Structure 1
């Protein structure tokens, strides 16, 4: 059978992707200068680092409230409010007169950041065609990655304007994003009230009942530990203390990881719409596990770069696909703020705990053991996905019809896998949808 026709992405998707790109560039402007800016207030290294930790901690603590706000106020309002909070608090950082003022302002930025993150995921899910969820996640992740890479480069050109300039520029960029998103989504037929497709509330309890959601939380937690936590904390230490290289080589290793990421982000998301989520979630986690574990045993800098690139490839394979799997669980016609908040919290929790736990382990054993254990966490996530039903099989009564599910049988191109005897697959609390490859939640 011929391949299904390419699904055209709605204009709202491109608005959100453009906004994410600008936000990522702005964050890249601020992040490198923030610790040094804090040091200008006469504090030590630990206090300067606490500025970064305070932002992450407030993201973690405020995530449940952000999820509830999305449920009550809607995605657009929370998105715009979150961006405004980050914009104003970031701009105010340029006017800070004391360390404590800077700490409070960055903490407020963390609150706005989690509001933006949860609501942006909700918006992406609402406006993404079910048959293109992987492609949308891939494009969105790629735009954010490219923006994150360009941000520090742009920031280096602003060095002559002082450490406060990036905060002002980031504020201005965020205000532009607010205008773009407000104008781009104001007339959206998908998000407009009264369009006959008002979202229903999808609770955390409903999400937890899905094996795919539990697996998504685990893979998000594992990714938080390995990709955002341990990698960022350990790569500089490994380069300097184990390989005895200049600290600048750590930045090169991080860039090599990002290159591996960028090489597969878009393709993995798009192919998961055709081949299913599980192949990429399993293979990506295993590849990232191997690359991560190898970092601790790399004998030379070239081998370290190879391991970084392999870990980046694996991360690029599973990261966008797990977001598509999350969208499969929630569906396009549900508002799942608490479900999305828990997904974000799982990654943030891994980011916070990973460097602490693995750092303790490495201190009492070796860097190699610490990185091997980190890789093992990713491997456990892959094993769980092996025994988890394919997320893209989940059908929702109110979702637009998936083109691969047309007709009475199972399309061989479809990502869905039927039961061995060809009968409908019915889980606890599910009723058949009338086609062997689908199941629906009872309403």
Structure 2
């Protein structure tokens, strides 16, 4: 456990985590382990699938089945969180992905691979819903923005480190990334099992006075709240644009439309990560001090501007500027909606509400590439990107009309 303890201490003293509960540091460490492992295995998955002699479409379905299982199993994960508690579901979910990834590396045929990746999708949802639910439940309202930013920072740092290590690992063998991913997930599960405190249910729940009713624990009730609807719309925009269109269409745009080297793709993604990392801390603090609503408006508006820049200036420089702007928007869109979810649930255990929040992002990341790809084939890249802009405008609208959920006495 020395490695985990050393990493835990380093992460705990990070400026992002100063003044936050110890559990936030542990969850950020877990996010780092998950992200670095995924960054290593993700590029290898479709290539490994193709090694079984299947078509490109079949190979891509290995990626899709993981996302679809995440989406389909989210309500079940939300129920389990309420029934068994976050710590148990978090640990079991991480172990499920770890074991399934290990055996995926041993798969001797395509069918086994796709089944194991589907099982991994279930475990991934268990991890995401439980970790997010726990994060919002243990943090006081005046720190929710910073806590969400810190958790997002763990994913960001791991996501940057993963591909750098992955190039070395994949050179060893196409199966090796699965084993490394399994190991990083074991480290994450160990962090959850040993370092997350097992509190009494009532002791862990933040006691707060909020103008949002504490009865907003059921999804059907929460859906009637305009702030919750706004948070869903922002997360949908994140999935549709940031995860969907950006990962599927922008690489093609750089190579086919801009006629640039594939290396420019990575420079653009790096620009997004750098600006997101720079603004994460500020976005979290701004969400806690100035309010959730302004941060959500700014985040979605900046995302919209980044798309307009990309369409208006079809040059390599315009692409890099657009991606850098998108990173700023992503920082705000990661912190503020999460704080809203914590506000509308009153800091109480709310698995189904958190599960629905995750589902909107997953839905966007599934539908985004399909819609954008169809538009590229029929009308061109511009129309595909403007669809993302339209989704961003919807999120802006819901953010503008939402009530502020930050308690009025939060900064007094």
- Judge same fold: TM > 0.5, yes or no: yes
CA distance in 1 between counterparts of 2:78 and 2:94 reads 16
Counterpart pick for 2:133 among 117, 122, 143: 122
1:342 aligns with 2:350: no
1:314 aligns with 2:329: yes
1:390 aligns with 2:404: yes
CA distance in 1 between counterparts of 2:204 and 2:300 reads 40
Give the structure 2 partner of residue 62 of structure 1. 73
Counterpart pick for 2:148 among 113, 119, 137: 137
The offset of 1:350, in angstroms, is 0.9
Give the structure 2 partner of residue 223 of structure 1. 238
Alignment check: 8 A CA contact 2:44 2:174 kept? yes
Larger helix fraction of residues: 2
CA distance in 1 between counterparts of 2:200 and 2:324 reads 43
Alignment check: 8 A CA contact 2:99 2:182 kept? yes
- The structure-2 alpha-carbon separation of the partners of 1:101 and 1:247, relative to structure 1 and needing over 3 Å to count, comes to same
Alignment check: 8 A CA contact 2:232 2:360 kept? yes
Give the structure 1 partner of residue 166 of structure 2. 155
CA distance in 2 between counterparts of 1:19 and 1:123 reads 13
1:103 aligns with 2:114: yes
Alignment check: 8 A CA contact 2:81 2:89 kept? yes
Note the 1:228-267 alignment, pairs <5 A.
228-267=243-282
Alignment check: 8 A CA contact 1:7 1:131 kept? no
The offset of 1:80, in angstroms, is 0.9
CA distance in 1 between counterparts of 2:24 and 2:333 reads 21
Is there any run of 5+ residues in structure 2 with no aligned partner, and where?
A: 1-16, 208-213
Counterpart pick for 1:293 among 283, 286, 308: 308
The offset of 1:19, in angstroms, is 1.0
Alignment check: 8 A CA contact 1:277 1:390 kept? yes
**Runs ≥4 residues deviating over 2 A:** 191-201, 296-299, 358-366, 402-405
Give the structure 2 partner of residue 29 of structure 1. 40
CA distance in 2 between counterparts of 1:222 and 1:303 reads 22
CA distance in 2 between counterparts of 1:7 and 1:28 reads 27
Give the structure 1 partner of residue 342 of structure 2. 327
Alignment check: 8 A CA contact 2:276 2:330 kept? yes
Q: How many residues are treated as equivalent by the alignment?
A: 389
SS in 2 for 1:87: helix
Alignment check: 8 A CA contact 2:139 2:206 kept? no
Alignment check: 8 A CA contact 1:293 1:375 kept? yes
SS in 2 for 1:335: coil
CA distance in 1 between counterparts of 2:46 and 2:222 reads 38
The offset of 1:404, in angstroms, is 2.5
The offset of 1:382, in angstroms, is 1.1
The offset of 1:339, in angstroms, is 0.5
Give the structure 2 partner of residue 192 of structure 1. 200
- The structure-2 alpha-carbon separation of the partners of 1:19 and 1:348, relative to structure 1 and needing over 3 Å to count, comes to same
Alignment check: 8 A CA contact 2:137 2:205 kept? no
The offset of 1:393, in angstroms, is 3.1
Give the structure 2 partner of residue 18 of structure 1. 29
CA distance in 2 between counterparts of 1:196 and 1:20 reads 21
Alignment check: 8 A CA contact 1:296 1:370 kept? no
1:351 aligns with 2:365: yes
Note the 1:405-420 alignment, pairs <5 A.
405=412
Alignment check: 8 A CA contact 1:82 1:112 kept? yes
The offset of 1:331, in angstroms, is 2.3
CA distance in 2 between counterparts of 1:227 and 1:15 reads 26
- Decide which moves more: 302-311 or 287-296: 287-296
Is there any run of 5+ residues in structure 1 with no aligned partner, and where?
A: 1-5, 395-401, 406-443
Give the structure 1 partner of residue 14 of structure 2. none
- The structure-2 alpha-carbon separation of the partners of 1:94 and 1:7, relative to structure 1 and needing over 3 Å to count, comes to closer
SS in 2 for 1:43: coil
SS in 2 for 1:390: coil
1:275 aligns with 2:290: yes
Give the structure 2 partner of residue 416 of structure 1. none
Structure of greater Rg = 1
Alignment check: 8 A CA contact 1:220 1:343 kept? yes
